[in-house]
Amino acid sequence: MENFIRKIFSDKTDDEVHFEFIRFGRGVYENKYLLEGKKQNNGWKIKTSSEFVNFLVKGCLMKISHEIEVSGIIVSTLDIEKDTGFEIENVKKYMGIKQFVIKTRTNARKILELMNKYPRAFYALSFSGNDFGLKIKAKPPKNGKQSNKGEDKLSSDFCSLKTQDKEIVEDLFFDFPDFNEIRIKHIVQIKDIEIPKNIQDPKQMRETAKRKGIIKRIINVDGREEIKEKEFFV
């Protein structure tokens, strides 16, 4: 399992990468995909912005197969309740968006099955395993629009993970997996959007259009800074 940023820098493109960039129009988006990591005696403490929610939830769920206590929300425009397989405490609706409030005990595999069926829903769920504890803020993500100051006021503490899993550390911090402290932010520049011909439906145009641009990865690791850039067309 690889996160979408690592896929871009590894010249890998798939539906996950494509759908991640659908929300971006032409322009420059600063302070995106925020990451922090700190080495501890018995593992690592990781903090991220909201873009990594589904990656962290799915990665942690894949490590366990037993029942867990889980709480948080699932955000979707679709009616996913009929396919959950676990209890929904409440459903909040606003402008076509549904928030499914979760506070229950269920098998991890049931949540994974739901994520595989509805991969574009937002799974802000908190739970623990034998060697990790994942806490995610139970609120919807910010959209991809820029703020009035030209950048998004995102925070790297939307997700907090304490883990002993080296694999997830090596994936998120793929260029510097051995660190004491590390902070990473990304700048996304969309230079052009190519829309397929003969498509009239606005929603389909938006979802099938390919975006061409550059992503800049700014890394502060153990007191030094490195900057990497990668062109993409997804």
Expressed as residue numbers, the domain containing 95 is: 64-130
**Mean pLDDT in residue range 96-105:** 96
Do 16 and 93 sit in the same domain of this protein?
A: no
The DSSP call for residue 122 is: E
Amino acid at 74: I
Do 99 and 148 sit in the same domain of this protein?
A: no
* Residue that terminates a domain, selected from 81, 102, 130: 130
**Mean pLDDT in residue range 151-176:** 87
Do 220 and 160 sit in the same domain of this protein?
A: yes
48 contacts 36 by C-beta, under 8 angstroms: yes
- Going by pLDDT thresholds of 50, 70 and 90, the confidence category of residue 142 is confident
pLDDT tens for each residue of 172-187? 999 999 999 999 999 9
Do 123 and 166 sit in the same domain of this protein?
A: no
Burial of 70 (0-12, 13-18, 19+ CB in 10 A): buried
102 contacts 72 by C-beta, under 8 angstroms: yes
Residue 143 has what pLDDT? 61
Number of domains present in the structure of the chain: 2
The DSSP call for residue 14 is: -
Do 33 and 145 sit in the same domain of this protein?
A: yes
Do 144 and 234 sit in the same domain of this protein?
A: yes
* Residue that terminates a domain, selected from 91, 107, 130: 130
On the question of pLDDT at 155 being above 80, the answer is no
C-alpha Rg value of the chain to the nearest Å: 18
- Going by pLDDT thresholds of 50, 70 and 90, the confidence category of residue 153 is low
Do 118 and 157 sit in the same domain of this protein?
A: no
201-210 contact pairs (CB < 8 A, 24+)? 206/22, 207/19, 207/22, 209/22, 210/18, 210/234
Which CATH number does the domain housing residue 120 bear?
Answer: 3.30.70
Please tell me the distance from the alpha carbon of residue 184 to that of residue 170, in angstroms, as a whole number: 14
Percentage of the chain beyond pLDDT 70 is 95
Q: Which of 89-103, 108-122, 152-166, 168-182 has the lowest mean pLDDT?
A: 152-166
**Whole-angstrom distance between the N-terminal and C-terminal Cα of the chain?**
19
CA distances from 212 to 25, 27, 209, 218 (A): 10, 11, 10, 20
Query: Helix, strand, or coil here: 159?
Result: strand
**Mean pLDDT in residue range 197-217:** 92
Residue 217: closest CA among 234, 232, 202, 197: 232
Do 89 and 168 sit in the same domain of this protein?
A: no
- Going by pLDDT thresholds of 50, 70 and 90, the confidence category of residue 152 is very low
Strands 122-129 and 67-76 turn out to be antiparallel
pLDDT tens for each residue of 69-84? 999 999 999 999 999 9
On the question of pLDDT at 150 being above 50, the answer is no
- Going by pLDDT thresholds of 50, 70 and 90, the confidence category of residue 200 is confident
On the question of pLDDT at 156 being above 90, the answer is no
Strands 181-194 and 210-221 turn out to be antiparallel
Does some domain include residue 57?
Answer: no
pLDDT tens for each residue of 6-32? 999 999 989 999 999 999 999 999 999
* Residue that terminates a domain, selected from 110, 130, 150: 130
**Mean pLDDT in residue range 102-107:** 97
Q: Residue 88: CB partners within 8 Å, gap ≥ 6?
A: 81, 100, 101, 102
Do 144 and 45 sit in the same domain of this protein?
A: yes
Residue 180 has what pLDDT? 97
Do 124 and 171 sit in the same domain of this protein?
A: no
Do 82 and 123 sit in the same domain of this protein?
A: yes
Do 18 and 102 sit in the same domain of this protein?
A: no
